[in-house]
Amino acid sequence: MKKLTGIAGIALAVALLAGCASTPERDPQIDAAREQITILSQDPLAPQVAARDLDAARSRLQEAETALEQHRPLPQVDHLAYLARRHAEAGEARVQAAHAQQEVARAQEQRNQILLAARARQAEAAQSQARMAESQARAARSQADASAAQLADAQRQLEDLKAKPTDRGMVLTLGDVLFDTGRATLKPGADLALDRLAHYLQEHPNTKVVIEGFTDSRGSDEYNDELSQRRADAVAHALMARGMPADDLRAVGRGKNFPVATNDTEAGRQQNRRVEIVFSDANGRFAESDLNEPVRR
C-alpha cells in the first residue's frame, strides 16, 4: 500500500510539472499591452485626460498577468491583455485629442498676437500673417477632430466588437443560435449580430473577412461539410444584402474539423456548431497565409 501511495505521488508531481510547463512564463500579448500602457503613462497629459482609461488598462493587465500566473487557458489570458491594449488605445486617442486642443489654443493665441501687432504695421502685411495663423488654426482643429473621431472609434470597438485575438488574427464567433438544428437558414434573431458586423465592416472598408462554418461530429463527413458550407454561405449572403462587397467576403465550410470542445456532451457539441468570422488586417491581409488564397472546391 505504501508503495502504491508513493507511485501515485510521483505521478501527481509529474502531472503538475507538465501542467506548469504547458503554460509559458511570458505572453506576447501581455508584453504588448504592458508596453502600450507604459507609453501612455509617460505622457504628461495622461493623468489629466486619460486617468480612467489608464486605470482600466492597468486593471485588465493585472488580471491578465494573474491569469497567466494561475496557468489559466491562453485564449483567456490573451483576451484580458487585448482588453488592456484597447483601454490604452482609447487613452492614447484621448491624450492626442488633448494635445490637438492645446495646439488649437496656441494657434488662436498666435493669431490674436498677430492681429494686435498688425495695428502697428502695414495693413497688407498684417492681413497676410493673420491668414497664415488662421490656416494653422484650421489645421489644428482638423487634427483635433481626427483625434476625437479616433477616440470614438476606439471606444466603440472596445464596447461593441466581441472579437478575440488569436494566432489567426481577430476572430468573432457566432454560436449555433443563428440556425435551427440541421438547417442553414438564418433565424430572425441573427439580424442584430449581423447588423453590428456589417456596420463594423462598413466603417473599416479595407478589412476583409473569411466566414468559416463548423459542425459537431454527428452525421457523415459529407453531410457536415455540406451543412457547414451552406451556413457560411448564408452569413456571407446576409452581409452582402447589407451592402458588403462580395470581393471582401469568403465563405468556407470546415465541417466537423477543428472542434473547440468535446463532442461527447450536448454542451460541447453546441459550442462546436458555430460560424467564425476571421478578420484581415487594415491592408486586407490575414495572419494565416492559406486564408489569403482562393478557396478550391
What is the per-residue DSSP string for the chain? -HHHHHHHHHHHHHHHHHHHHTS-S--HHHHHHHHHHHHHHTSTTHHHHSHHHHHHHHHHHHHHHHHHHTT--HHHHHHHHHHHHHHHHHHHHHHHHHHHHHHHHHHHHHHHHHHHHHTTS-HHHHHHHHHHHHHHHHHHHHHHHHHHHHHHHHHHHHHH---EEETTEEEEEEEGGGB-TT--SBPGGGHHHHHHHHHHHHH-TT--EEEEEE--S-S-HHHHHHHHHHHHHHHHHHHHHTT--GGGEEEEE-TT-S-SS-SSSHHHHHHHSEEEEEE--TTS--SSGGGGSPP--
Residue 156 pLDDT class (50, 70, 90 cuts): low
Residue 241, pLDDT > 90, answer yes
pLDDT the model gives residue 151 = 41
Residue 133, pLDDT > 90, answer no
70-96 confidence digits (pLDDT tens): 999 999 999 998 999 999 999 999 999
Please give the mean pLDDT across all residues of the chain.
84
Residue 297, pLDDT > 50, answer no
- Does the domain at 164-292 match CATH 3.40.1130.10? Answer given as no
Which has the minimum average pLDDT: 56-70, 126-140, 203-217, 269-283? 126-140
Every domain of the chain and the residues it spans: 25-160, 164-292
Instruction: Please give the residue that has the higher pLDDT: either 166 or 176.
Output: 166
